[in-house]
Amino acid sequence: MFDSKVVRRRRAALAVFIGLSVVMLTAYFGESAGGVFHTLQRGAQEAFAPLETGTDRALKPFRDFFGWFGDTIDAKGENDKLQGEVEALRKRLAESETATRDVRQLRGLVKLARGDGFPQGTEPVAARVIAHSPTVWYSSVKIDKGSGDGVEEDQPVIAAGGLAGKVTRVTDGTSEVTLITDGSSAVSAQVMPDGANGVVKPELGKPEDLLLDFIQKGRRVTKGTTVVTSGFTASKVESRFPKGIPIGRVSRVDLDEVELYQRVHVEPFADLRRIDVVQVLTSKGRPPEEQAGVLAP
């Protein structure tokens, strides 16, 4: 069907494309964050940001229309679940109000300073999600706020009342947020109220089910308890997330006789599959000593 020249040219073209891809792959892993390919990525993201923002807004009505069908199907099951939660939360509210009153009185006694932000000393900057990563192997979103709005790398990001991730790349007008469901994410966390410490890691393919690892068997973790960021500072590793950001609720505890640690399953508060708006907890007006460090990534 083809003469040998055509066949050679065709194979050469494929070899060039594959070779270029492998070279890029190797170079990308070898270079630092300020390298050529990382800089190119930042430039491309900045260039495409207006196009992505426009497309996102233009097609939102279509997404909402299609989403309406799925939401209606999910609504019934969710309604039953929420009614049960309301019951539980009513009981907790009563306990919480009592505890709040106690805390207020105790604060007055020890004269603790209290900031206005959430968590203490942070200033939330609301941002719209303009792009989502297309595969389960990376879990990141792009938002329409950047360094011009006070966003910096490693700042925590929350969505719908729960931790969503942290800022990993910033351009002038956009930022990339690596979600806590990304394979490279690990967040130091604490189970409330007993304070058992562990690390929240994702399980790829199950964004609604995080794993709280490294909880020692002796510590009792029960279903329904809340998991928050611990914001710990150790000698070598530190958590970049401030203390007290809610992550999710314990949904299951696996007790394996062989394992040294318990495997605690956590259902995140934020719906990380469908987030349209997030808040970046910027550190404006925050004392530097309150900013903690980072645990991978």
Whether the bond into 119 is cis, omega within 30 of 0: yes
d(C-alpha 233, C-alpha 192), whole Å: 18
Given 127, 131, 167, 280, the residue binding other proteins (CB under 8 A): 131
**Residue number with CB closer to other proteins (18 or 103):** 18
CB of 130 to other proteins, least distance (A): 6
Asked if 141 and 16 touch (Cβ cutoff 8 Å), the reply is no
- What SS3 state is found at 179? strand
Subset of residues 143 to 182 that bind other proteins, contact rule: CB under 8 A: 168-169, 176, 182
Cα(169)–Cα(186) distance, integer angstroms: 17
211 contacts other proteins (rule: CB under 8 A): yes
Q: How far apart are CA 292 and CA 217, in angstroms?
A: 28
- SS3 state of residue 251: strand
Restricted to residues 50-69, the positions that interact with other proteins (CB under 8 A) are 51-53, 55-56, 58-59, 62-63, 66-67
Q: Which 66-85 residues touch other proteins, going by CB under 8 A?
A: 66-67, 70
- CB neighbours (10 Å) of residue 35? 13
With CB under 8 A as the contact rule, which of the stretches 101-109, 133-141, 157-165, 246-254 interacts with other proteins?
133-141
Instruction: Find the Cα–Cα–Cα–Cα dihedral 48, 50, 53, 54, rounded to 10°.
Output: -110
First to last CA, the chain: 52
Are the C-beta atoms of 209 and 228 separated by less than 8 Å?
Answer: no
Judged by CB under 8 A, the residue of 96, 100, 184, 216 near other proteins is: 184
Kindly state whether residue 203 participates in binding other proteins, applying the rule CB under 8 A: yes
Q: Which of 146, 123, 240 lies closest to 185 in space, CA to CA? A: 240
Opening angle at CA 151, ends 150 and 156, nearest 5: 130
Angstrom distances, CA of residue 9 to CA of 1, 17, 21, 22, 44? 14, 12, 18, 20, 31
Which residue, 27 or 89, has its beta carbon nearer to other proteins? Answer: 27
28 binds other proteins (CB under 8 A): yes
What sign does the dihedral 31-35-36-38 (CA atoms) show? Answer: positive
Among 183, 244, 246, 293, binds other proteins (CB under 8 A): 183
Which of 81, 220, 223, 273 is close enough to bind other proteins by CB under 8 A?
273
Task: With CB under 8 A as the rule, give the number of residues binding other proteins.
Answer: 65
Query: What tokens were used for 200?
Result: 């929240």
Interface residue with other proteins, options 8, 101, 104, 206 (CB under 8 A):
206
In the complex with other proteins, which residue's Cβ is closer, 88 or 136? 136
Q: Alpha-carbon Rg of the chain, whole angstroms?
A: 23
**Residue 136 binds other proteins, judged by CB under 8 A:** yes
By CB under 8 A, is residue 48 in contact with other proteins? yes
* Binding residue (CB under 8 A) for other proteins from 8, 22, 81, 172: 22
The residue (of 22 and 103) whose beta carbon lies closer to other proteins is: 22
Give me the residues that bind other proteins (CB under 8 A), please. 1-2, 9-10, 13-14, 17-18, 20-29, 37, 40-41, 44-45, 48, 51-53, 55-56, 58-59, 62-63, 66-67, 70, 130-138, 140, 142, 168-169, 176, 182-185, 201-206, 209, 211, 273-274, 296
